[in-house]
Structure 1
């Protein structure tokens, strides 16, 4: 049985400095961003580039000592040795537990606190697996009202974004099909290194491509 209402939720871009990355995206692509928050226990923090139904997550190390004690933190530090770049992608599903059971994945809970004190909570599956093999996504179910989804935040964009129109992923087509349980998503499968290689963003002024 295919996943219900599967959709691209966000793409993760590792950056060495959140503020510098935000300035670059605004100056070069006209994309605004907002402060995200800290990830408790991971030593990381993020900024959000809201795109309406989905978003780009900029993630950086905020506390190297804390990050060194977490799998995600250590992985992020390792990835940043090669500079800023995409390190993962996430698919939202209505029932993450059901899909996790199909793939034999564990479900974990996560949260972050926004600067206004609002706590965002979610359940995810396959995060560590997707970090080891970024050719496949991890999965998320949000435990927040739709209006609190990060993609719905207000940001100072040069033109209004309409969402991610496609992502380009270095992956094996059959493995990805099995991982997604046959669900069709706007993914362009290409050769090359595993992982996200490009993202197309639809706006009212045309398409923006990030690589």
Structure 2
């Protein structure tokens, strides 16, 4: 069974700045998230409808540094808050990784506030295609983070991936996920843009 869009990660240098930027762009408040002890990160969340959400995720300055590179390439992140990674959910992480490019990561078990999941995390923190390829997640049990969020009427309309080799990225995505909202454009460098329908109209995070 192919993977499906799960959530998009907005990276920032600190959580308050990142959350404020997203709230200003979308015109809706984010909800409290939590901490990820294994990665030394924390987040804020926004529902994008059933089974989908947005997270602002940053290094947690109060947490001990992990003994490995953090996920989503956060150790090297700099600059303004922006979409940095997107995440696709699957029912069989091992099978999805078999179809994914090399360096898509090794499965690691996570738990937070009663939620359990397995995620493939690359050894160096950076996903294939300069992290334009999605991180793969398998939720354990009947609940995901999206199920705990208040629906404020926001919906994902499109994820636009820009990459210098769009044909290779398209070929890598084809056996893993089939979602018409995921589009690919050529460009000099990797970038991710998210178009979100809000109660105030269409808004873009880039």
Q: Please confirm whether the aligned pair reaches a TM-score higher than 0.5, indicating the same fold.
A: yes
- Cα deviation digits, residues 128-170 of structure 1 (max 9, x gap): 451772121121111131xx3222333484xx12x31211111
Map of 1:53-72 to 2, 5 A cutoff? Answer: 53-63=51-61, 66-67=64-65, 69-72=67-70
1:41 deviates by: 2.4
Shift of 1:33: 1.5
Counterparts of 1:37-186 in structure 2 under 5 Å? 37-52=34-49, 53-63=51-61, 66-67=64-65, 69-72=67-70, 75-80=73-78, 82-103=79-100, 106-113=105-112, 118-125=113-120, 127=122, 128-130=125-127, 133-145=130-142, 148-155=143-150, 157=152, 160-161=153-154, 163-171=155-163, 172-182=165-175, 183-185=177-179, 186=181
Q: Is this contact kept in 2: 1:124–1:139, CA < 8 A?
A: yes
Measure the CA separation in 2 of the matches of 1:13 and 1:191: 21
CA shift in 2, pair 1:64/1:203, >3 Å: closer
Q: Contact (CA 8 Å) 2:11, 2:18: kept in 1 or not?
A: no
Tell me what 2:8 maps to. 11
Give the Cα separation in 2 of the matches to 1:76 and 1:64.
16
What does the per-residue CA deviation read over 1:16-44, in whole Å, with 9 as the maximum and x for residues that have no partner? Answer: 22233323333342222122111122211
Structure 1, gaps ≥5 residues long: none
User: Does the aligned pair in 2 maintain the 1:11–1:55 contact within 8 Å?
Assistant: yes
The count of corresponding residues between Structure 1 and Structure 2 is 197
Return the alpha-carbon distance in structure 1 between the equivalents of residues 14 and 85 of structure 2. 18
Richer in helix (by share): 1
User: Which among 21, 32, 35 is matched to residue 32 of structure 2?
Assistant: 35
Asked if structure 2 preserves the Cα contact closer than 8 Å seen for 1:87 and 1:131, the reply is no
CA RMSD of aligned residues (A): 2.7
After the TM superposition, which parts of structure 1 deviate over 4 Å for at least 4 consecutive aligned residues? none
Instruction: Give the match's secondary structure for 2:39.
Output: coil
Q: Is there any run of 5+ residues in structure 2 with no aligned partner, and where?
A: none
Higher alpha-carbon deviation: 9-18 or 128-137:
128-137
Given that 2:3 and 2:96 are in contact with CA atoms closer than 8 Å, whether structure 1 keeps it comes out as no
What displacement does 1:60 show? 1.1
TM-score after normalising by structure 1: 0.79
The one-character-per-residue Cα deviations of 1:53-109 (angstroms, maximum 9, x if unpaired) are 3111111111377336331179313212x3322221111122111121233555412
